Structure 1
Amino acid sequence: MNFLQTIILAVIEGLTEFLPVSSTGHMIIASSFMGIASDPFVKLFTIVIQLGAILSVVVLYFKRFFKSLDFYFKLLVAFIPAAVFGLLLSDKIDELLESPLTVAVSLVVGGVILLFVDKWFNNPVIEREEDINYLTAFKIGFFQCLAMIPGVSRSGASIVGGMSLKLSRKAAAEFSFFLAVPTMFAATAKKLFDFYKEGHTITTQEIQLLAVGNIVAFIVALLAIKSFIGYLNKNGFRMFGWYRIIAGLIIIALIYSGHNLQII
């Protein structure tokens, strides 16, 4: 992986991390098209780079993170399912990270759901994070676990899950953003631990790639979050649904027409 490829992947991560289109899925497909080899560092990069984008949430919602202890307890409760399933399914998740076909199918299925989600859940009763109780937070945490399948979208799964539990689109989206912070910190820490546990080391150039990737993802995500919230409140999920379906079908067509999109 070179610096140009790193910047491209970082821009993709920053743009898609908070959209219901799967940032990991897009990075897997982009890596395939650019011929980036599948090695331990690339798998590490795919996870760690998301931390840069996630930190933009802390900056944009700085006051919310210092509002009350109750806020942190809710995030902790919502994080528990991902922590448990992440530890249990770590190896399987790594296998799926190498499959563009898994991403494509997930994109299509998720896209179909997004076409109808605004009609299914159009009577919200929870408009603010403060009104989310612990049981609701825990249930949203289970929805987030669906994103362990590449292409599902962590933000999409948790937002739709929140809306199914009577959260408004804005409240569900913001809680999804907040929940991403402990989730991605933990995912990054575990990935780094596993990387070193398996005997790998990070070179000076790879450290530079991680630094550049996280900085670019952070800056792009800062610009993307507010735009997404505004668009979502006004227009809903339908456009994202069609995008996912079209992108997924194109990838499937390429795979079955003989194009090798598997990561080299």
Structure 2
Amino acid sequence: MDIIELVKAAVFGLVEGITEWLPISSTGHMLLLNQFLTMNVSEDFWNMFLVVIQLGAILAVCVIFFRRLNPFSPSKDKAEKRDTWLLWAKTVIACLPAAVIGIPLDDWMEANLGSPFVIAAALIVYGVAFIVIETVRERRADRALAEKGARPAARHFSADVALEPASRSELADEDARVQSLEELDWKTAIGIGLFQVLSIVPGTSRSGSTIIGGLILGCKRTVVAEFTFFLAIPVMVGASGLRLAKYLLAGNVPTTMEAAVLGVGCLVAFLVSLGVIRFLMDFVRRHDFKPFGWYRIALGVAVIAWFALH
């Protein structure tokens, strides 16, 4: 066993576990990391590894939300089981646009849109989108606060302190049309699924595109964050299964070292995802998504500068 390669796999698993759930593009970060940290594996294995490592991350969703996602839980009454089946139905239906459009374009996207400059452009564009959308919600909250006789907060980084009767961030969520997953109607679920199609472009971020879609369509931040996690299950399982099948059908057989690399990557992605998912759910209860927008812009600019100079 080559310990160095296993350490590299662990680093990729760490990056996958962090970036898969934060709206900052996991594939974009993985492709950029590969520019600086290259594993000693075949090209076919690397292309498969880049997708299948997501299975470790998705397992964390299944563990954390097991009760909510389990329609057979003995602790649920009939109504709760019905709601769980409806949630699964909405999740699967919302994933169909990404499957119908993404699967035929998978090879073309991989061959033509994996350059650092495409990734950087997507990082910046959707970073700006996050800031614009949250600013619009903030201004609506200011108006709502004014109507309730409260003084709008100053526009600076410490503005997210508690206000009376509520902070702008909290008030924006209170005014959201969809306050819970049970209130998520079919039209909104499918709309979020259509936004998910945008993530086929590297650097966009699957979670970023669905979160932006959910906010535009009137969802509370925690609602769209949870639904984003659930959408990942069929999408990632399907994408990983497809990529693994293509890898094996092409006559590839992973070496013992490559199998170990994949196992370590998935395990680390799973463990890191457990913490990141909990962090994000706690974060969005009190904060907006602007910090992720600024991060995307800064990273996109840094990527353009780095590759332009090198």
The TM tier, using the shorter chain, reads over 0.9
CA positional deviation for 1:70: 1.1
> CA deviation digits over 1:87-115, x for unaligned, max 9?
21011122246412211111111111111
Asked whether 1:193 is paired with 2:193, we answer no
User: Contact (CA 8 Å) 2:5, 2:39: kept in 1 or not?
Assistant: no
- Of 104, 108, 120 in structure 1, the residue corresponding to residue 120 of structure 2 is 104
Asked whether 1:73 is paired with 2:89, we answer yes
- What residue number does 2:55 align with? 51
User: Contact (CA 8 Å) 1:25, 1:151: kept in 2 or not?
Assistant: yes
User: Contact (CA 8 Å) 1:96, 1:149: kept in 2 or not?
Assistant: no
User: Contact (CA 8 Å) 2:127, 2:295: kept in 1 or not?
Assistant: yes
> CA deviation digits over 1:193-241, x for unaligned, max 9?
1112222221221111111111100000001111112212212111111
- Of 23, 26, 32 in structure 1, the residue corresponding to residue 26 of structure 2 is 23
Asked whether 1:206 is paired with 2:209, we answer no
Instruction: Compare 31-40 and 216-225 and name the one that shifted more.
Output: 31-40
- What residue number does 2:166 align with? none
CA positional deviation for 1:52: 0.6
Task: Tell which structure's C-alpha radius of gyration is larger.
Answer: 2
Number of positions where the alignment pairs a residue of Structure 1 with one of Structure 2: 258
CA positional deviation for 1:49: 0.6
Runs of 4+ in 1 over 6 A off after TM superposition: none
- What residue number does 1:42 align with? 46
User: Contact (CA 8 Å) 1:28, 1:97: kept in 2 or not?
Assistant: no
- What residue number does 1:232 align with? 284
- What residue number does 2:226 align with? 174
Tell me, which stretches of 5 or more residues in structure 1 are unaligned? 260-264
One-letter amino acid of the structure 1 residue matched with residue 53 of structure 2: I
User: Contact (CA 8 Å) 2:98, 2:196: kept in 1 or not?
Assistant: yes
CA positional deviation for 1:43: 0.9
Instruction: Compare 165-174 and 60-69 and name the one that shifted more.
Output: 60-69
Tell me, which stretches of 5 or more residues in structure 2 are unaligned? 72-83, 138-171
Please give the alpha-carbon distance, in whole angstroms, between the structure 2 residues aligned to 1:226 and 1:147.
23
RMSD, aligned α-carbons: 1.5
Identity %: 38
Q: How does 1:82-101 map to 2 (within 5 A)?
A: 82-96=98-112, 98-101=114-117
Q: Under a length normalisation based on structure 2, what TM-score does the superposition of the two structures give?
A: 0.80
One-letter amino acid of the structure 2 residue matched with residue 4 of structure 1: V
